[in-house]
Copies of this chain bind each other. A is one copy, B any other.
């Protein structure tokens, strides 16, 4: 199960595996996450589990209350909207910068991402789809040349991707509009047009946000 060579530390393994559990809906929003039960389930001690939970907390995926414990985030409609507002601003800034300095190599990586994305979508493989989709946006953020901005984009991507899992439009739609939108964005980047790329990115993000269904009920905290 656990391929040791893929992870530098146990804490990293727990972190990745917890995210995997979230993505595959094995954990419910708001659910408690006791350190011991996670530890025994993953075959490690509480120490690396603690570290993984703190890391997830810094990404907003879990909330930790001192002396009380960690629980999976339970984002409200408003919180999701706020996150998307922020994501739009960060990614639009990133793509504006990227359009003027992206390399051929990075453009090719983007094209590869879309191909894989297509495959994931046809296979209805949500986990792969999210990973590849994240790669696409991360590559653009890295192409901006601003490493701190790229860090922030990665952080907000982690948050918003979880929203997609919680309130998931993936299986509800026949053809995924994201893929042609991604292709158009690549074309705008290839012709080095910041304005065009930004406009397409903005439209793309607004589109995917609107697809999100509001939570069935605003549950009490």
Contact = CB atoms under 8 A, between A and B. Distances in A.
Contacts of A21: none
A132 to B, nearest CB: 25
B148 A83 contact: yes
A79 B9 contact: no
Nearest to A47: B47
**This chain: copies in complex:** 2
Interface stretch (A51-59, A111-119, A176-184): A51-59
Contact of A146 (B8, B12, B85, B90): B85
A interface: dominant SS:
helix
Contacts of A26: none
Interface string A145-173: 01111011000100100000000000000
A24 to B, nearest CB: 25
Contacts of A83: 148
A146 B159 CA distance: 15
21 contacts: A8-B66, A8-B67, A12-B66, A50-B51, A51-B51, A51-B54, A54-B54, A54-B55, A55-B58, A58-B58, A60-B148, A79-B147, A79-B148, A82-B149, A86-B93, A86-B146, A86-B148, A86-B152, A89-B89, A89-B90, A148-B156
